[in-house]
Amino acid sequence: MSEVANTSDNTASRSTSVVVVVQPSDVSIGKQFIGQLIRDLKIGFRSRGDFINPLLFYALAVMLFPFGLGTDATILKNIAPGVMWVLALLSVLMSLDTLFQRDYMEGTLEQQVLHGAPLSTLVLAKVLAHWITTALPLVLVSPVLAVMLYLPGHAIPVLVLSLLLGTPVLSLLGSIGAALTVSVRGGGLLLALLVLPLYIPVLIFGASATAAAANLDGPGYAGQLLWLSVFMVLSITLAPFAGAAALRISLEQ
């Protein structure tokens, strides 16, 4: 960071007459957001590993449960909501290190911080692109895996809906952790330590919504879904600012 700042200072002092300052107002926030989103989506879909790996992890890990617990349909049916949710959560966690890592390594992130455009917009766009490329496939494939764990058919729409509401929260909260650890060497485990405690409320409400939907006699699942919506709205409005602050701090050293 300091090196880049120094060189730009030098160029500025050498040719003071041709300093080009890109005003943040040159690009509107909306354009910045869309531009960043499209760029990240392109990169995300082109680097196949980044978006296939979490999906493969999810499917493989679901497959391990019948091996560990036996193929008894009632057991699998009972644990299915929790297993699906825990594994979705872990898959999102595993995908987080690709969120800022590449841009940090190649220096793009530094330039974007120096540029002066709102960093929170950038974080929101990056997280949305990351969610579309890594978490959305998980949500789409979850009905298939849920059927394999004998989750009742009437609970599957609720599972998908709860994942749709919950995984953006996981990505947004995770982006704060990813931003804090982007410059830490071997930060993967540290990231898990920072982020997993924050994931617990989402897991509780997501899994219990699915479980409530699977059990027709019990209380309804609307409350849990509403809580998940609350978390989503809160995290969309607040997390990008925390993520931006964290990025700035991480890039300062």
Q: Is 220 in the site for another protein (CB under 8 A)?
A: no
- One residue of 79, 141, 194, 203 binding another protein per CB under 8 A: 194
Q: Is 250 in the site for another protein (CB under 8 A)?
A: yes
| Residue carrying structure tokens 């764990």 | 149
Q: Is 180 in the site for another protein (CB under 8 A)?
A: yes
Helix or strand or coil: residue 48?
helix
Q: Is 246 in the site for another protein (CB under 8 A)?
A: yes
What is the distance in angstroms between the CA of the first residue and the CA of the last residue of the chain? 7
Provide the residue count of the chain.
253
Minimum Å gap between C-beta 239 and another protein is: 8
Based on CB atoms, which residue is closest to another protein, 47 or 237? 237
Based on CB atoms, which residue is closest to another protein, 52 or 200? 200
Q: Is 198 in the site for another protein (CB under 8 A)?
A: yes
- Which of 252, 232, 5, 249 is CA-nearest to residue 124? 232
Which token pair is 53? Answer: 């790996």
Which token pair is 235? Answer: 């995290």
Minimum Å gap between C-beta 249 and another protein is: 5
Minimum Å gap between C-beta 84 and another protein is: 19
Find out whether 152 and 76 touch, Cβ atoms under 8 Å: no
- One residue of 55, 79, 160, 245 binding another protein per CB under 8 A: 245
Q: Is 49 in the site for another protein (CB under 8 A)?
A: no
Neighbours of 196 (CB within 10 A): 16
Based on CB atoms, which residue is closest to another protein, 16 or 253? 253
- Which of 62, 120, 101, 67 is CA-nearest to residue 241? 120
Minimum Å gap between C-beta 85 and another protein is: 16
Q: Is 176 in the site for another protein (CB under 8 A)?
A: yes
- One residue of 64, 184, 226, 233 binding another protein per CB under 8 A: 184
For residue 150, CA distances in Å to 26, 90, 141, 241, 250 come to 55, 21, 15, 41, 45
Stretch that binds another protein, among 12-20, 81-89, 115-123, 193-201 (CB under 8 A): 193-201
Where on the phi/psi map is residue 107: left (φ > 0), alpha (ψ -120 to 50), or beta? left
Contacts of 132 (CB under 8 A, 6+ apart): 41, 44
Binding region for another protein (CB under 8 A): 173, 176-177, 180-181, 183-184, 187, 190, 193-194, 196-198, 200-201, 204, 242, 245-246, 249-250, 252-253
